């Protein structure tokens, strides 16, 4: 049994392919059940963000399980495996666990230390639990990864001065325009990313903020925080005509703004330019919009320069964060080893107690003439003998848990005493 992760991220594929693989929130449940129904995947979780799409699984056989995930990605995206196989990364067991811990801490993000990924990891875990496709093992891995990510943010400067994709989008927009003072800003999407961009832009002296969202109540809650306005997605054309800056980040599965709509708007704007930053995956804005005169369209790929500069500033913190993760990964391994050994130890002592009781029952008639005090003495002596005999094997297998020797000892105990620890040990 193995824990594996198969994925693509901002470093391995261009944004056009990454968006084809993106799994929006509205399709997560279906994707989880599709994956879990495949022969070699016992537990699954899907982590899909603007930086990555990763499938985590607890599997019965490594290579067939990877094949199941590749098949799912091909069916889901409509891409032939040849289009993305060379871009995939695959890790298993300790490497897969280390990767998830690094992701949760923000060390594998395009912007090192970005604050949104921890919540996204937590959401991926919660979705898998809600759909009942992640049971004992993956739940434990994700729980510990989230705890480790929190610790990194608490104990390093990465946590004290967070940078996120949303704040980076605002910073890049500001760099392109030489500042945002007096700009009219349209934010499309009121989710976590949209909220981050709206809050980040509110203190930059903008003239107007409009939040457009499918659910108007969510837009109103966010707009109220920044003294902004709200608009339904059906009013996008009107709001685009007013906007100098557009920040898009919905979870829509289709393009919201087509090239033709923006061309029509720009014809009536004369010399008024428009800057659009689209950080949604799949993209909210037709890529062709970037070819329209007077329009600058930026996407995830355009944030990489800012990400590089941010990483340089945080370089000293990466080492500290990795030390913390190393200690947390070791703690997880120790806990996992203890969980694996516990059923063997329990079964061993259960077998000893069963044999003791069987022998007492066999001689129960001969013991019937003993007084109560003597019977209790017999009970105590026989129980003590069993415990002393099992004490050394128990200590040895616990002390060596998680090592090759520990596996040999555990298997030997199972064989010699004919133990049935059930499926607990593999978890």
Annotated domain spans of the chain = 2-162, 165-303, 334-395+405-421
* Rg, the chain, Cα only: 29
Residue 210 among the catalytic residues:
no
Low-confidence winner among 195-199, 349-353, 380-384, 423-427 (lowest mean pLDDT): 423-427
Catalytic residue (choose from 50, 59, 183, 210): 50
Assigned token pair, 26:
């509205």
pLDDT of residue 243: 94
CATH architecture for the domain at 2-162: 2-Layer Sandwich (3.30)
Handedness of CA 87, 93, 94, 100 (dihedral sign): positive
**How do residues 25-51 score in pLDDT, each as one tens digit?**
889 999 999 999 999 999 999 999 988
> How many of the other CB atoms lie within 10 Å of CB of 77?
17
pLDDT band at 322 (very low <50, low <70, confident <90, very high): very high
- Contacts (Cβ under 8 Å, ≥6 apart) of 166: 116, 193, 194, 195, 196, 197, 200, 249, 279
Report the Cα 393 to chain-centroid distance in Å.
39
Helix residue ranges, H only, 80-235: 81-84, 94-104, 116-130, 136-155, 157-160, 165-177, 192-202, 216-225
Low-confidence winner among 1-5, 283-287, 343-347, 398-402 (lowest mean pLDDT): 398-402
Tell me how far apart the alpha carbons of residues 212 and 189 are, in angstroms, rounded to a whole number.
Answer: 6
pLDDT band at 424 (very low <50, low <70, confident <90, very high): very low
Q: For the domain with range 165-303, which CATH number is right: 3.40.50.720, 3.65.10.10, 1.10.1530.10, 3.40.50.620?
A: 3.40.50.720
Alpha carbons within 13 angstroms on the beta-carbon side of residue 380 total: 6
Assigned token pair, 282:
């799949």
- pLDDT of 394 strictly over 50: yes
């Amino acid at each position: 049994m193995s824990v594996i992760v198969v994925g693509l991220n901002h470093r391995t594929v261009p944004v056009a392919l990454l968006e084809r693989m993106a799994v929006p929130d509205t399709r997560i449940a279906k994707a989880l059940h599709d994956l879990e129904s495949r022969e070699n995947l016992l537990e699954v979780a899907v982590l899909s963000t603007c930086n990555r799409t990763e499938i985590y699984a607890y599997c019965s056989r490594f290579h067939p399980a990877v094949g199941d995930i590749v098949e799912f990605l091909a069916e889901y995206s409509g891409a032939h495996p040849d289009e993305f196989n060379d871009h995939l990364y695959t890790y298993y067991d300790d490497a897969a666990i280390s990767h998830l811990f690094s992701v949760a801490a923000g060390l594998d993000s395009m912007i090192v230390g970005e604050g949104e990924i921890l919540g996204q990891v937590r959401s991926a875990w919660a979705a898998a639990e809600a759909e009942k496709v992640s049971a004992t093992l993956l739940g434990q891995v994700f729980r510990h990864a989230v705890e480790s990510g929190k610790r990194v943010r608490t104990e390093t400067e990465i946590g004290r001065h967070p940078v996120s994709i949303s704040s980076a989008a605002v910073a890049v927009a500001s760099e392109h325009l030489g500042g945002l003072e007096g700009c009219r800003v349209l934010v499309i999407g009121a989710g976590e990313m949209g909220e981050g961009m709206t809050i980040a832009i509110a203190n930059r002296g903008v003239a107007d903020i409009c939040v457009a969202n499918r659910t108007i109540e969510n837009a109103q809650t966010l707009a109220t925080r920044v003294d902004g306005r709200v608009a339904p997605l059906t009013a996008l054309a009107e709001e685009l005509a007013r906007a100098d800056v557009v920040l898009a980040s919905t979870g829509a599965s289709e393009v919201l703004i087509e090239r033709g709509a923006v061309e029509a708007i720009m014809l009536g704007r004369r010399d008024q330019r428009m800057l659009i930053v689209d950080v949604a995956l799949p993209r909210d804005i037709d890529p062709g919009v970037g070819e329209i005169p007077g329009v600058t369209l930026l996407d995830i790929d355009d944030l990489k320069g800012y990400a590089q500069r941010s990483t340089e500033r945080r370089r000293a913190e990466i080492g500290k964060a990795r030390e913390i993760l190393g200690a947390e990964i070791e703690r997880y391994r120790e806990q996992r080893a203890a969980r694996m050994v516990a059923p063997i130890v329990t079964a061993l002592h259960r077998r000893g107690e069963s044999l003791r009781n069987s022998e007492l029952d066999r001689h129960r008639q001969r013991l019937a003439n003993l007084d109560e005090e003597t019977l209790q003495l017999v009970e105590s002596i026989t129980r003590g003998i069993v415990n002393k005999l099992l004490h050394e094997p128990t200590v040895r297998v616990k002390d060596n848990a998680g090592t090759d020797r520990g596996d040999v000892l555990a298997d030997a105990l199972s064989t010699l005493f004919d133990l049935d620890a059930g499926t607990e040990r593999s978890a």
